[in-house]
Chain A
Amino acid sequence: MLEQQVNQLVDHLFRHEAGKMAAVLTRLLGFQSLEIAEDIVQDTLLKAMTTWKYKGIPDNPSAWLHTVAKRKAIDAIRKHRLHEQHHAEIGYALKSEWTLSPTVSSFFRENEIEDSQLRMIFACCHPSIPYESQIALTLKTLCGLSVLEIANSFLTNEDTIVKRLYRAREKIREQKISLEAPVPTAMPGRMDAVLDTLYLLFNEGYNSSHPDVLIRHELCVEAMRLCHLLVQNSITSVPKARALLALMCFQASREDARLAEDGSIILLQDQDRTKWNTALIEKGKLYLEQSAEEDVFTEYHIEAAIAGCHAAANTFEDTSWSSIVELYTMLLDMKPGPIVEMNRAIALGRHDTAAAGLDALERINGLEKNHLYHAAKGDFYLSLNEKQNAHQCYQLATEFTTSKTERELLNQKMKRCKN
């Protein structure tokens, strides 16, 4: 009972509300006034904190926050005369005292909040903003993470993140980026930029070797949440977005199985597949089906299909390696590069023979400093029982990995080469 009362607030309510309010306020005040919007969000949360501490949580915490933010927004519009710099759509409505308050209120309706968040995603992922800055800005404004939290999740310091955010703000000013509604005609190019950023964000969470598992988990969850927002909206729910969400669902379904209690990585072949999240796998399947409804085929479709093949296999041996080889061949056509070549070679080695896989790996150029490449070669050598060669490859791999857990994994493998 006590615990229930203590945890009255929904998890991450503050963080998510911070993101929502920042999007709404920025749309109201203009992207150029992003900092004013962020200050209002900060003040609103502080007011909630100081009040709720003494008075308890209100019946509808979100509505409470929105009411405070609305009042502060109206004050800011009056004080800074922000309507003057605003586009014609709402500038006049913000100028008149008659329409100011109802206009501000209308922006806090549920569907308008979602709309503002979508506009914000597109603005943060504007192609003229450098990638790293896009991600930092997205995490800061849409996900409500602090500079320190972003710095921690990217294994860097606060200064670096502050610089990235500064660069983003500079671009916003220079390019006069505004929070436009995503329009279908301008969609393809802009949509690609948005999806690429969400893909990077997810991968950062999924693949980075950060010791703090929780922070990495949050990055994946946020990337999925934003992708889900895109898929829910009729204009932005393009096949490519659904395919990306499918891919994220399949990858995320393995999260509990891929890390051991000590934080070390468990390889796909050694994972306890009963720990896979079947609900997420089902969601992945559904989005993948829905992604095929139009005649569009993208790299995310293929990557999702590959992840889906793994998810569908009850054991590692049951994996449909022939399908995976085929899919990687298609992906290679679309997105040539040594990493895709490497993944295809690994699948080929499983499907055909270890010698064939090794042969394919040997022919790849450009991965001489990639630890995964050397580790894969080592694996094939080991299954061919060429222990000395395997050991050498693992040794090389340890030199190129920056991750402690991966190094431990490689050390274990090297021990196996000695027996």
Chain B
Amino acid sequence: MEKYMFIFLGGDPSHLSPEAQQAHMGKWFAWVEKLRNEKRYVAGEALMPGGKTVKGTKKTVTDGPFAESKEVVGGFFVIEAKGIDEAVQMAKECPDYELGGVVEVREVMKFDNM
């Protein structure tokens, strides 16, 4: 098993009614539950919007990133899969696509092999 990170971008639910929001969340819970039951889920965190950016040799601090909402990283999961193909299959079950969400699937680098 290799570790993969799912990075969730966009998927703005703010136009949904409370009832639809709850329904959408239900789908998300079902997906996470499935990953847990299959012992694939390792960790996950949600990220607050906004924050600060430090840049350049002068270490300039600015507010943000204030990306377009469809590019904002909302959170990430670390999961286990047999390979990139399986990881992609798992990522396809994320319910955020109907809200314009994007999932980046990245393999976590292993250093003990180097």
Contact = CB atoms under 8 A, between A and B. Distances in A.
Given A2-B37, A5-B33, A6-B33, A42 B14 contact: yes
Given A2-B33, A46-B13, A46-B14, A53 B19 contact: no
Contact of B30 (A6, A12, A57): A6
A54 B46 contact: yes
B21 interface: yes
A149 B24 contact: no
Nearest to B15: A146
B13 A49 contact: yes
Nearest to A41: B18
Contacts of B24: 49
B29 A6 contact: yes
A45 B30 CA distance: 19
A54 B44 contact: yes
Contacts of A42: 14
Contact of B18 (A8, A55, A144): A144
A144 B75 CA distance: 28
B100 interface: no
A13 B110 CA distance: 43
A52 interface: yes
Interface centre among A8, A53, A55, A148 (most CB of B within 10 A): A53
A45 B16 CA distance: 10
A148 B17 contact: yes
A93 interface: no
Interface string A1-13: 0100111110011
B112 interface: no
B53 interface: no
Contacts of A7: 26
Contacts of A5: 29, 33
Contact of B75 (A13, A18, A50): A50
A56 to B, nearest CB: 8
A54 B45 contact: yes
A144 B17 CA distance: 8
A131 interface: no
Chain B contact patch, size range: 20 to 34
Contacts of B20: 146
A18 B19 CA distance: 10
Given A9-B22, A149-B19, A53 B33 contact: no
Interface in B11-62: 13-14, 16-22, 24-26, 28-30, 32-34, 37, 44-46
A381 B74 CA distance: 68
A364 interface: no
Interface centre among A45, A46, A145 (most CB of B within 10 A): A45
Contacts of A56: 29, 32
Given A5-B29, A6-B29, A146 B22 contact: no
Contacts of A52: 25
B29 A15 contact: no
A83 to B, nearest CB: 28
Contact of B29 (A17, A57, A148): A57
Contacts of B13: 46, 49
Nearest to B13: A49
11 contacts: A6-B29, A9-B26, A42-B14, A45-B18, A46-B14, A49-B13, A53-B25, A54-B44, A146-B19, A146-B20, A148-B17
Interface of A: 2, 5-9, 12-15, 17-18, 42, 45-46, 49-57, 144-146, 148-149
Given A42-B14, A144-B19, 17 more contacts: A2-B30, A2-B33, A5-B33, A6-B26, A9-B26, A12-B22, A13-B22, A15-B22, A17-B18, A45-B21, A46-B13, A49-B13, A50-B74, A53-B32, A55-B44, A145-B19, A148-B17
